[in-house]
Amino acid sequence: MREILTTAELATASAGDPIIVWAGQGLRHGVRAWSDGDAVAVAAPELSKRDRLAVAGPVDAVARLAARVFAEVGTSFRPFGDEQLIREFADRMPEVSYSAAFGWMDTTELPMVTTTAAWLEGDAGVDALLNEAAPSSYAWPGRSGVRRWAAVSGDDGELLSVAADAWSAPEFGFLAGVATRPGARGKGLSGQVCGFVTAELLKRHGRVGLMVDRDNATAIALYDRLGYTYRRVAAAHV
């Protein structure tokens, strides 16, 4: 097992895998990464609400590497990666239980969206909107890694639809916290705010990703229209 100490090394070891690059978070304080042959693992604390262990590579090599990483950093880190890899990984390690499958989407394509969305100065009103429209959101004002919020607002200044720049890495922007007030749905506002945040993050980071419930066909279709491509992923836990 060899510890990876630079983001360039991490990108090379993972062949630029977007999930691994994102999880690396620029190797900020607390994030560690390793390789062993073709296997790569990144332990990132408080990444999208969880301590995550992003993994990639052949399952046998990943299982060997993960066992050594758990001994190094502890078992609070939840394995995360391609769905088939995580399923096979959980089968090989009795102490690991498969948790859930969901979707990862990313893009390098600048969306063509006409929008009135803008970055908020602060986050006033976001909590109330999330409580009403998306109480299970992982991104909330004040949560670790959640940097800023964008919104489409009504003529009276009321927030109608929001999205966050959250858990972005230097080389990879991340979109989260998407929510639209129930009475404002069906008007294309989510597309406007997501298109705005996607474009802003692309200009800064060059690539943007997000996670989505695999059963949320409406959201997946929206992100597809904005240029995102879908990838089946899953998580497990010790």
Q: What pTM value is reported for the model?
A: 0.96
CA distance linking residue 163 with residue 168, whole number of Å: 13
Q: Taking a C-beta distance cutoff of 8 angstroms, is the pair 171, 16 a contact? A: no
The DSSP-derived string for the chain is -EEE-SHHHHHHHTTT-HHHHHHHGGG-TT-EEEEETTEEEEEEEEETTEEEEEEES-HHHHHHHHHHHHHHH-S-SEEEEEHHHHHHHHHH-TT-EEEEEEEEEEE-SPP------EE-SS-TTHHHHHHHH-TT-S--TTSTTEEEEEEEE-TTS-EEEEEEEES-BTTBEEEEEEEE-GGGTTSSHHHHHHHHHHHHHHHHHS-EEEEE-TT-HHHHHHHHHTT-EEEEEEEEE-
User: Are residue 99 and residue 113 in the same domain, yes or no?
Assistant: no
pLDDT at 54 exceeding the cut of 90? yes
Same domain, yes or no, for 86 and 136?
A: no
32, 42 in Cβ contact below 8 A?
yes
Of the residues 63, 87, 103, which one is the last residue of a structural domain? 103
State pLDDT tens for residues 148-187: 999 999 999 999 999 999 999 999 999 999 999 999 999 9
Phi, psi of 199 (to 5 degrees): -65, -45
CA separation, residue 11 to residues 6, 41, 61, 171 (Å): 9, 12, 18, 10
In this structure, the answer to whether residues 123 and 72 fall within a common structural domain is no
232 domain residue, yes or no? no
Q: Determine the structural domain holding residue 176 and report its residue range.
A: 109-206
Residue 211 lies in a domain: no
> In the chain, what percentage of residues exceed pLDDT 70?
100
pLDDT digits (tens, 9 = 90+) for 178-230: 999 999 999 999 999 999 999 999 999 999 999 999 999 999 999 999 999 99
CA atoms of 117 and 192, how far apart (whole Å)? 6
126 and 171: one domain?
Answer: yes
Clarify whether residues 24 and 78 are in a common domain: yes
Which amino acid is located at 98 in the chain?
A: Y
